[in-house]
Amino acid sequence: MERHRVWISFRSFIANLIDRYQLNTIFKLLIYLVLIWIIGSTWLYFTEKDYKLTQTEIARGEVNYFDSFVGSFRNNIIYIFSGFEDYVPHTTAGWFGSIFVMLFGSLGVMALLIGNVTTIIQEGTRRAQFVRRKPTYGKFHHHIVICNWSKKVYEIINQLHDPVLTEQKPIVIVSESADQIPIKYTNVPLSRFKNVYYIKGDPTSTEILLLAGIERAKTAIILADERLGIRKYSGMLDNTSNDSTDRLFASSDPTDVKNRRKLIDAKSILIGMVAESINPEVHTAVELVDSHSRIHFERTRIDEIICADTIASKLIAQCATTNGLSEFYVRLLTATQDSNEIYFVKVNGGLIDKTFRQVQKIVLERKLDTILIGFVTKRKKETLDRHGKQVDERVVVINPKSKENMNSNFNRNYVLGKNDYLIAIAYEKPSNPNFFLTD
């Protein structure tokens, strides 16, 4: 069972509040205030209680306000908030007491409190413009780590925190290239930044990755560090500037460009390797800018490579052959309530031990708005790995063939097992029991 919620104990919840609103300063000030109040009240009680009012004073209507212990405390509050009013002391020692309270209590601590609250509100407003720094206390589980910051992060957050997804995993961004990550004036609704945190540090370092909780993370996305070698970036980002082309093509000399691309990829693959070595189970997806770097990835344990160049080239070629295809793919890739996506659905319940063709027919009969396009299974790799062990490799079968093929049994009559997945195009991830035949 996946646990994706942030596991924060009660103690750290309080720690969070204190940290966020700088409550420790306010607590200190409040304690001072209370102390001053107690000292002042006690002083005034003991100095004023035995005072006998003179005839003229009684005639004027004055009262000894400090003759009872409780009364003394009660009336002292007025000093703090407003001043003497009618509660004038009658002994000289009493006067010292009230001056003490007013100077240190009212003018001193109260003013500080008000000043502090104002600063806190200002700081809060300023902080609200950026992604929050990851607090040291919080432990995340099954979260997503994004290494290297670039413009792409916004769209990724947009998709990953879309309300249509029932699980909203926390996202931790690790990068050394930005002091702050702005969240206003992007196309992403502010609510989607709720569980997003930022660690400023070098993503190739083990310590930083551990800080990000890589050993408990589910996915690690490593983006290309487009600002590599250009300049140390600090300050606000200008969302209108053309970030990616600026960085990738900083010089127009093609050899320069090529070398930079190779360096960017080298760094990305390095981060992937470090992540996998700390946590081999984390699913690493690395963005490559040069398709020739692919060969290096094959020697690592990185799970997925996304090469924008390759995808774009293939898509452009497909569009030239079949006009209008770009819309098809863009729609499939955009995750919203109203559009289709491709999902992997774990084979469950009544679907186990049925053939692919049978499941296709079931989906049709039950009029589920889903189209099955294939399945994913595992098989033993033919070559042994470095240690001489036989490992599994994932096999993705799309549009399984009908005719029996001598070389493989991955056709429409393949019997689905309980570790297999179905590949489906649907409006949302199929989860209702109807789909799994568990009525």
Partner 1 sequence: MEEREISAEERKIRDHIVMCNWTSKSDEIIKELHSGVIRDPRPIVVVTTQRGKVPESSEPHYQGVLVVPGDPADDRTLIRAGIEYANTAIVLADETQGEHADTKSILISLAIEAIQPRVHTIVELLNSKHRGHFDHTYVDEITCVDELSEKLIAQCAITHGISDVYLHLLTATDDTNEVYMVDVPRRFVGKTFRELEHFLIDYEEQDIIPVGLVTQEVMEKKGQILRNHGGKEIVGGFLTINPPGDNVHVDGKRKSRDYKLQEEDKIVVIAYEYPELEQL
Chain positions 389 to 408 lying near partner 1, rule: CB under 8 A, are 394, 396, 398-403
Residue choice 329, 352, 355, 414 for contact with partner 1 (CB under 8 A) = 329
Contact string 283-302 vs partner 1 (x = CB under 8 A): x-x-x--xx-----------
Give the strand order in the sheet containing 144-147.
132-133, 196-200, 171-175, 144-147, 219-222, 283-288, 304-307
Contact 72, 47 (CB under 8 A): no
Residue choice 221, 273, 347, 351 for contact with partner 1 (CB under 8 A) = 221
Residue choice 21, 95, 344, 414 for contact with partner 1 (CB under 8 A) = 344
CB-wise, 28 or 366, nearer to partner 1?
366
Stretch that binds partner 1, among 58-66, 76-84, 132-140, 245-253 (CB under 8 A): 245-253
Residue choice 65, 426, 430, 436 for contact with partner 1 (CB under 8 A) = 426
CA–CA dist 119, 16 (Å, integer): 18
Contact 230, 257 (CB under 8 A): no
Q: Measured on CA atoms in the order 102, 105, 106, 108, is the torsion positive or negative?
A: positive
CB-wise, 178 or 302, nearer to partner 1?
302
CA–CA dist 57, 88 (Å, integer): 12
Residue choice 304, 353, 392, 393 for contact with partner 1 (CB under 8 A) = 304
Stretch that binds partner 1, among 96-104, 263-271, 325-333, 430-438 (CB under 8 A): 325-333
DSSP annotation of 227: T
Contact 205, 278 (CB under 8 A): no
CB-wise, 22 or 413, nearer to partner 1?
413
Q: Which helix (H) or strand (E) holds 210?
A: helix 206-211
For residue 81, the number of C-alpha atoms closer than 13 Å in the C-beta half-sphere is 5
Count the Cβ atoms, other than its own, within 10 Å of residue 417.
12
Question: Smallest distance from the beta carbon of 256 to partner 1, in angstroms?
Answer: 11
Residue choice 12, 91, 180, 318 for contact with partner 1 (CB under 8 A) = 318
- 418: buried, middle or exposed (CB in 10 Å: 19+, 13-18, 0-12)? exposed
Residue choice 111, 121, 317, 391 for contact with partner 1 (CB under 8 A) = 317
Question: Smallest distance from the beta carbon of 33 to partner 1, in angstroms?
Answer: 50
Question: Smallest distance from the beta carbon of 257 to partner 1, in angstroms?
Answer: 7
Stretch that binds partner 1, among 12-20, 94-102, 271-279, 317-325 (CB under 8 A): 317-325
Question: Smallest distance from the beta carbon of 398 to partner 1, in angstroms?
Answer: 5
* 36 part of the interface to partner 1, by CB under 8 A: no
Residue choice 55, 92, 234, 252 for contact with partner 1 (CB under 8 A) = 252
Phi/psi at 52 (nearest 5 deg)?
-100, 130
How many residues line the site for partner 1 (CB under 8 A)? 91
Which residue has tokens 């306010």? 26
CA–CA dist 262, 256 (Å, integer): 10
Residue choice 141, 294, 303, 348 for contact with partner 1 (CB under 8 A) = 303
Residue choice 102, 144, 174, 228 for contact with partner 1 (CB under 8 A) = 144
Kindly identify the residues of this chain, within the stretch 150-209, that bind partner 1 according to CB under 8 A: 151-152, 155-156, 158-160, 165
Q: Which helix (H) or strand (E) holds 73?
A: helix 69-81
* 70 part of the interface to partner 1, by CB under 8 A: no
Q: Residue 275 carries which side chain, given as an amino acid letter?
A: A
- Report the DSSP beta bridge partners of residue 408: 405
Kindly identify the residues of this chain, within the stretch 106-135, that bind partner 1 according to CB under 8 A: none
Lookup: tokens for 121: 């509100």
How far from 414 is each of 60, 207, 329, 348, CA to CA, in Å? 105, 46, 28, 16
C-alpha dihedral, 377 to 379 to 383 to 386, nearest 10°:
80
* 316 part of the interface to partner 1, by CB under 8 A: yes
CB-wise, 56 or 323, nearer to partner 1?
323
Residue choice 1, 70, 320, 406 for contact with partner 1 (CB under 8 A) = 320
Kindly identify the residues of this chain, within the stretch 345-384, that bind partner 1 according to CB under 8 A: 357, 360-361, 364, 367-374, 376
Count the Cβ atoms, other than its own, within 10 Å of residue 174.
27
Strand ranges (E), 37-182: 132-133, 144-147, 171-175
Stretch that binds partner 1, among 65-73, 173-181, 322-330, 431-439 (CB under 8 A): 322-330
